Structure 1
Amino acid sequence: MTAPEPTILATSGGHRAGTRTRLLFDALVHHAVDLSGVHGRRPRILYVGTATGDAEHVTARVAEAARVAGYDLTPLQLFPMPNVEDVEGTVLAHDVVWVMGGSVANLLAVWRVHGLDVIMRRAWQAGVVLAGVSAGSICWFEGGATDSFGPGLRPVTDGLGLLPYGNGVHYDSDVGRRPLIHRLVAEGVFRTAHCTDDGVGLVYRGTELVEAVAELPGKGAYVVRRADAGVVEERIEPRMLPAPRL
């Protein structure tokens, strides 16, 4: 089972603290599974933690969240070497790819060394839902604002470009991201940027933004464009997703 057309869910969320576990999947991860259309069996999630350096403690927490959610999870690790013989076959065998946050600059460099940039495009075209949080959102776009290079935010402009826009994540919780995204659009680095508050995701069919969704109330999504008077920011009210059953 695959999505009926190339599908991406780009988010600033998807995780929350549990009571019996350190991490649970929140509504945005569950929505990525819904977008895949899988039914009649346990969903297969490929977890990609490149942006954290494949940190084992993060992988363990995500695996526990998948167990609680009733999903089969496979970690794709690239440090110190790929943990599977057939990387492309592994990616294509899953319903959803979920990419963790961290350093998007390092993620992009490592993916390209291993050809995962090309593999992700093939998976997208084959109907595997590509999704993720923060760095796992920016990577699908032309680029965005990142703290990959240090505490000060800087642009990254060599994203995979599956989506022909800039991307702003954590738009409401990191005060430097909005002004940097506005400047990058004003300067023409990105013609348009699509941005999310924490707890919000953007759903794309092909390269078209079709819906904003949220797991937290009162949050927004935004489209930033160049205009004659400078930069215009349009707020999009997301649809609230149902709270996941545990």
Structure 2
Amino acid sequence: MKKISFALIFISLCYTAMAQVNTHTPATRTIFAYGGQFTKPFMRYVIALTKKQNPRICFLPTATGDNAATIVSWYEVCQDLPMQACVQKTFIASYTEPKTFEENLLSMDAIIVSGGNTLNMLAIWKAQGIDTVLRKAYNKGIIMAGGSAGSLCWFDGGTTDSRPKNLAIIHGLAFIAASHCPHYQSEPMRKPLYFDNILRGRLSPGYAIDDLAGVVFENEQFVRTVAIDDKSHAYYVSVVDGKIDEKMLPVAEIIK
């Protein structure tokens, strides 16, 4: 009888463990793309998205060439916020870095990508394997965020000023299956070029975002628009009956 009882207990424990595994909720994949540069309100919103107290948030300034002034500005913006601010440079040497890119980035609660040269940033990420690490971080539920180059990188593609003379089409990491246009209202050449590229099929339909607005995606689906003021918006731009269709996405929250 004791042997039978032990066997029943063992089987029961196994079923309980399997049930716990089967009911495990997958991490929510979240991207917060804003149209311009990082600001204190945007960082407060990222902190809220992590749903953690004093989250670890890493700034990835690759697109600026790890510009010192940009890094200083990042620390100044974050210095009085309830977060642990850090920076992951890519212009480094082995003997100054005790952790790999993967070890450091996967230990974060959120990753903020700077503005700058999108094309150079993506090339460096690919050479260093950071593009693969960011995919792992995204799938793990680490918040992905950024503006300008830092928002463009998450989408299928968009236009960039990374090359001389004219804005050029660029292909991003494609976490979101849509195109993107940052600086939508602040840079006059952006909007007509975005319309033309979508109309001609060079870019897929997508999301255009003003500098002081942001869009949240969860599990690759649009969730909400937020803005720092009531004059800033985000839009979904597509083609309907052979013409450009621009739909303003209602702002769910004004963030401060």
* Alignment partner of 1:104 is 2:118: yes
Instruction: Give distance in 1, aligned partners of 2:201 and 2:175.
Output: 19
Partner of residue 210, structure 1: 223
Task: Assess if the C-alpha contact under 8 Å between 1:217 and 1:240 holds in 2.
Answer: no
Percentage of matched positions with identical amino acids: 29
1:10 aligns with 2:22: no
Aligned mates of 2:42, 2:100 — CA distance in 1: 28
Match of 1:105, SS? helix
Please state how far the C-alpha of 1:28 moved relative to its aligned partner.
Answer: 1.7
Aligned-partner residue type, residue 149 of structure 2: A
SS of residue paired to 2:202 = coil
Q: TM-score, normalised by structure 2?
A: 0.85
SS at match of 1:212: strand
8 A contact 1:7–1:129 mirrored in 2? yes
Q: What is the rounded CA distance, in whole Å, between the counterparts of 2:86 and 2:165 in structure 1?
A: 32
Closer/same/farther in 2, CA of residues 60 and 220 from structure 1, 3 Å limit: same
**In structure 2, how many angstroms separate the alpha carbons of the residues matched to 1:187 and 1:219?**
27
Structure 2 counterpart of 1:159, from 169, 172, 175: 172
Larger radius of gyration: 2
Q: Which residue of 1 aligns with 2:187?
A: 174
In structure 1, list runs of 5 or more residues that go unmatched: 16-24
Separation (CA, whole Å) in 1 of partners of 2:250 and 2:240: 22
Identify the match of residue 74 of structure 2 among 62, 66, 86. 62
**Alignment: residue pair count:** 229
Contact 1:139/1:160, CA 8 A, preserved across alignment: yes
Structure 2 residues not aligned, in runs of 5+: 1-25
CA RMSD across the alignment: 1.7
Contact 1:51 1:135 in 2 (8 A): yes
What is the SS of the residue equivalent to 1:69?
coil
Deviation at 1:152, TM superposition (A): 2.5
Q: Which runs of 4+ in 1 moved over 3 A?
A: 80-84
1:96 maps to a residue whose letter is A
* AA at the equivalent of 2:141: G
1:239 paired to 2:252: yes
Paired AA for residue 53 in structure 1: G
Task: Tell me the SS of whatever aligns to 2:42.
Answer: helix
Work out the CA distance in 2 between the residues paired with 1:152 and 1:221. 24
Could you report, residue by residue, the CA deviation over 1:157-214 in whole angstroms, capped at 9, with x for unpaired residues?
A: x200000111000101001111111112112222211010110001000110110110
Equivalent pair of 2:230/2:254 in contact (CA under 8 Å): no
Establish whether residue 43 from structure 1 lines up as the match of residue 66 from structure 2: no
Q: Distance in 2 between matches of 1:184 and 1:46?
A: 33
Task: Look up the equivalent residue of 2:29 and give its one-letter code.
Answer: P
- Given residue 143 of structure 2, which amino acid in structure 1 is its aligned partner? V
TM-score normalised by length of structure 1: 0.88
Residue of structure 2 in register with 1:123 after alignment: 137
Correspondence for 1:21: none
